[in-house]
Structure 1
Amino acid sequence: MLGSQTQTQPKDNTRLQSTQQTKARYFLAWRWHFYAGLFVVPFMIMLSLTGLVMLFDDEIEQLRYQDVLSVVPQEQTLPASQQIAAVKSVYLEAAMTQFISSKQPDTANKVSIRFEDGKSLFIAVNPYTAQVQGEIDRSDSWYELANNIHGTLLIGKLGDFLIEIAASLSILLLVTGIYMWLPSDNASRAGFLKLRVSSGSRILLRDIHANLGGVLSVVLLLFVLSGLAWAGVWGAKMVQGWNTFPTYYTWGEKPQSDLTHSSLNHGSEEELPWNLEHSTLPQSQAQDHSGHHGSETVSMKHYATVSIDQIIDQAKALGFTQFKVFMPKSETGVYTVAANSMAGDVIDPRQDRTTHFDQYSGEVLVDVTWDDYTLMAKLMAAGISLHQGDVSVINKALNALFCIAFIAISITGVVMWWKRRPVGQQKLGVPPKFQQDAIWKSGLVCLLIIGICFPLAGLTIAVTLILDWLLVRRSKRLQHYFA
């Protein structure tokens, strides 16, 4: 009997130690999940709400400007040059920057114009009669406002950094959330992929929060990574820069402008492919053929530019169907024809194409297609199309449901905290600490990996740990508040 008891005791100790380690890991994950959620939740709600507005931008614009955009279809459209000339005759002081043909026969074409003060307008023009039907202030669109909030909170670079921090910390939120969601004991198995409606409001909220978050974790990761690719640090410095396409790679050395492709964008609208934004534009070049200067380049004011009609004909011959035409911005500027899935010009990212034409000869200077994209650029193009709901009606409907689900996940998390917070104790309601040194050290590895992969998340975690060491641990009041 004594021997049996002696053998049983080490097994019990081992089982108890394993249980304690499991609890320690769970509570550590819960505390990190809570702290990350404090910062992420407001941004998650904001991004979901503005995402819903951007998702239905076309429908909203059509409703707002139905009188301006509606036309009666006819058999024959007029040349683009004639439509642009009609706009010029009304807006004498404006520069013509862009021509966009409508996707629908009963909708007006758009000519984008810009004034010297930077104001930019869409001018709706009837493609069948060249009649100017009205104007749309590009800065007054719901999309523009939602996109600015979505990307910068209307406060520029600071807003971009704050949103990138939130998006980066959401990776930590995902990792810890999935760890707590996956069944590891009887308590977690009880609510896994179930809604216990008869077990009280706290249990029901927990099941909604955990199961929605767990099931949609891959979807949220896709949204986060595709969104981060536009961000100022992880996107522009770490990912986008390495995947910027050098335009001379395929087409040889060309005269290069000081401007990049991003200079063709209007406001916060991303109209050029992600992997081309930082690459330089080619230049148009006129040659002196009088004989006494050979092929020396001379003042381009003496040379006539090719018409936009010729550029459109060439683009169609290359295979373009739906596209935007960007007008030359200077004497050395180029015509740019772009069909970009990220801008919604085409649905299938494999049809992406950006072609630059010399404004004097009509020569194709650079022609970038899907085949020229890097693997990361291809993943980005496909991911952004899904992110924006451009692939199909089903894609758009699912994205709308995802946005609503992310809002529900955020709100249920806040309500769960509110219900369990200590009342009248001057405490934040942080999940309890179940400290074990070995568990903390293994958890630190997870933080380091996330911090290295996503620098602003790493910086935020480091600052938080430093503040904890400098302030919280030296103040009994703060220790009580965060206990």
Structure 2
Amino acid sequence: MSDISHNVRSASAPNAFYRAAWRWHFYAGLFVVPFLMVLAVTGMMMMYIGYIDGRDGEKITVSVPQDGQPLSVSEQASQALKQHPNGVVVEWLKGRTENNVSVFRLKADGVQSMVAVDPYTGDVVESWDRRKGWYDFADGIHSDLLLGTPGDRLLEIAAGLSIVLVVTGLYLWWPRDRSFVQSVVPNLTARGRDFWKGLHSSIGIYVSVILLAFLITGMAWTGIWGSKIVQAWNTFPAEKWNNVPLSDSTHAAMNHGPVGEVPWTLEQTPMPASGSGSGVSGTREGAPVTIDSIADLAAAIGFNARYRISYPQGDTGVWTINQDTMSSDAEDPFSDRTVHIDQYTGKILASVGFADYSLAAKAMAVGIPLHMGLVGLWNLVLNTLACLSVIFLCVSGVVMWWMRRPKGAALRIIAPKTPENMPHWRGAMILMLFLSLAFPLAGVTLLTVLALDYVLVKRIPVLRKAFG
């Protein structure tokens, strides 16, 4: 971008709007650059730790004997419990392939741990504290900066402002005095700020669609826009479950910390309750309802590869069979499925698959695994390039700002100047109103900045000098 002329009064309206967009692009970037850097780095950490080492022991392998006959799940669970004699089994994760371990989640004295068991010999291969690894550390930062609710709100604001950054960036990039090819291919022979501007613009246009997808799917987990608005309107209606009794708990109770483990559309849906006699045919009639009969039912109704079975919690709790791409169970989001079984009768109380989701929930069921890089090696490579591009955009934006600053401006922010012949409130307020309705926290933040910029920065000489 060329430096702004001091004679802003004589600027044409399109030029003035361009300069106003540049100022808002600068303000949005000023806030979001550190957050985008953190999200890109922690996102790559999670993807590669998950791909190489796994999140829940899914990468641990064993030798398959000639007969290839695994022990019953109950026998494997008994072996796992020897690691924690006072514990109870909370969940069983079936191995994705024949040579993968079975993993049991145990709870003892309020602490949860994971035990990997050789399904053929019952030997304990490995055990670890649940959600205490590097993956979970990175996920904690990625989810809420390890700050809980305040961190969640900061990241929601950053994501909303990042959308402003993308939209204003596209407007600034739009070819006006050059060909489309010149707009997407950087001039590598340029020097100085023009060189950085060319790379910033070209890489920005390539990554803009992926970045928008990242931002939307990431914001769907946030506490205001995600939980209160989008997710609330797209929660699966429990009324579809043929009038089965409902628990006071929602599916979100099955999550642990910031890590989502149940489908997005089910998090706010009440769990069905056992003990009513409702439901349809499930486990084999006359057989006791145990982990073994539930595992047999899972195989009979089409669950394969990796899936998980959660044990009933409490007198009205249910057995839950779940396969979810978001949890690294499969690479096909369309195979996601959740089934609840009465712990007393073995009847199926509820069954929800991808086809039952709303349109937004289907988009999230596909978008979240893509966001996490779980849909194959190609997805991992694409997301890596996207994360590296985001890091470059942040660095190059800072470099361009630094190169634009005049000498002796160490304590000045040097925001792009506001064109005085631009109706400041009219265009900006339309954008702010839209953002306030679509993304409340980001909208409120921008309205605040707009007010400060208009009321204080323009009228207080010290602030006008610092920003201008």
Q: Does 1:88 align with 2:71?
A: no
**What residue is the counterpart of 1:336 in the other structure?**
320
Q: Does the 8 Å CA contact 1:25/1:439 hold for their aligned counterparts?
A: no
Counterpart pick for 1:104 among 97, 101, 106: 97
**Matched residue SS, 1:96:** strand
Corresponding residue number in structure 2 for 1:31: 23
Secondary structure of the corresponding residue to residue 90 of structure 1: coil
Deviations 1:88-116 (A, max 9, x none): 23312222111001113333211011223
Aligned with 2:12: secondary structure? helix
* 1:427-452 Cα shifts (integer Å, max 9, x gaps): 21211222224465234312221222
- Paired residues of 1:21 and 1:439 also in contact (CA < 8 A): no
* RMSD (Å) for aligned C-alpha atoms: 2.5
- Most deviating of 464-473 and 213-222: 464-473
Per-residue CA distance 1:237-293 (angstroms, 9 max, x = gap): 1100011112231x2222211111011112222110000001111111177xxxxxx
- Bigger Cα Rg: 1
2:160 pairs with 1:168: yes
Report the CA distance between 1:65 and its aligned residue.
7.8
Match of 1:477 in 2: 462
Separation of aligned partners in 2, 1:48 and 1:447: 27
User: Higher relative contact order by CA 8 Å / sep ≥ 6: 1 or 2?
Assistant: 2
Aligned to 1:43: 35
Q: Matched residues in 2 for 1:367 and 1:463: separation?
A: 46
Map residues 192-271 of structure 1 onto 2, 5 A cutoff. Answer: 192-249=183-240, 251-271=241-261
Q: State the match for 1:3 in structure 2.
A: none
* Aligned residue number for residue 394 of structure 2: 410
Distance of 2:129 and 2:82 partners within structure 1: 19
1:100–1:325 Cα contact (<8 Å) kept: yes
- 1:80 shift after superposition: 0.8
Aligned match for 1:368, one of 342, 347, 352: 352
In structure 1, the partner of 2:335 is 351
Paired residues of 1:355 and 1:364 also in contact (CA < 8 A) = yes
Query: 1:453 maps to what in 2?
Result: 438
Offset of residue 190 of structure 1 = 9.0
| Alpha-carbon offset, residue 389 of structure 1 | 1.7
Structure 1 pair 393–190 and aligned structure 2 pair: CA distance change class (3 A): closer
The structure richer in helix per residue is 1
Q: Judge conservation of contact 1:61–1:141 (CA < 8 Å) in 2.
A: no
Conserved? CA contact 2:13–2:422, under 8 Å: no
Q: Structure 1 residues 344, 65: closer, same or farther in 2, change over 3 A?
A: closer
Partner of 2:143: 151
Structure 2: distance between partners of 1:435 and 1:212: 32
What count of residue pairs does the alignment treat as equivalent? Answer: 450
Amino acid at match of 2:231: Q
User: CA deviation digits over 1:93-151, x for unaligned, max 9?
Assistant: 2221110011133332110112233x221101111111122212222222211111111
CA change 1:421–1:64 in 2 (3 A) is farther
**1:12 paired residue number:** none
Q: Tell me the distance in 1 between the aligned counterparts of 2:181 and 2:353.
A: 51
SS at match of 2:271: strand
- Distance in 1 of aligned mates of 2:242 and 2:73: 31
Q: Residue 140 in 1 paired to residue 132 in 2?
A: yes
CA displacement at 1:331 relative to structure 2:
2.2
Q: Residues 470, 444 of structure 1: CA spacing in aligned structure 2 closer, same or farther, 3 A cutoff? A: closer
Distance 2:272 2:443 in 1: 39
The alignment-based identity, stated in percent, is 39
In the alignment, structure 1 residue 79 sits paired with structure 2 residue 62: no
What is the CA–CA distance in structure 2 between the aligned matches of 1:62 and 1:157, rounded to whole Å? 27
**Residues 316-336 of structure 1: CA deviation (Å, up to 9, x unaligned):** 111111311111111221110
> Matches of 1:62 and 1:107 in 2, distance apart?
12
The one-letter code matched in structure 1 to 2:442 is A
5+ unaligned residues in a row in structure 1: which ranges?
1-15, 288-294, 296-303
Distance 1:286 1:410 in 2: 57
- Residue 293 (structure 2) pairs with residue 310 (structure 1): yes
Equivalent-residue separation in structure 2 for 1:84 and 1:393 (angstroms): 33
CA distance in 2, matches of 1:158, 1:471: 27
Give the structure-2-normalised TM-score.
0.91
Distance 2:223 2:325 in 1: 22
> What TM-score results when the alignment is normalised by the length of structure 1?
0.88
In the alignment, the residues of structure 2 paired with residue 237 and residue 205 of structure 1 have an alpha-carbon distance, to the nearest angstrom, of 40
Measured in 1, the distance between the counterparts of 2:408 and 2:9 equals 35
Q: Give the whole-Å Cα distance in 2 for the aligned partners of 1:63 and 1:34.
A: 38
What residue number does 2:413 align with? Answer: 428
Unmatched segments (≥5 aa) in structure 2: 1-7, 279-286
User: CA offset at residue 305 of structure 1?
Assistant: 6.0
Q: Does the CA contact (< 8 Å) of 1:97 and 1:326 recur in 2?
A: yes
Which 4+ residue blocks in structure 1 deviate beyond 6 angstroms?
16-19, 63-66
1:55 is the counterpart of 2:47:
yes
Shift of 1:191: 5.0
Q: Deviations over 1:201-224 (max 9, x none)?
A: 311111111111112211111111
Distance in 2, matches of 1:28 and 1:82, equals 68
SS in 2 for 1:226: helix
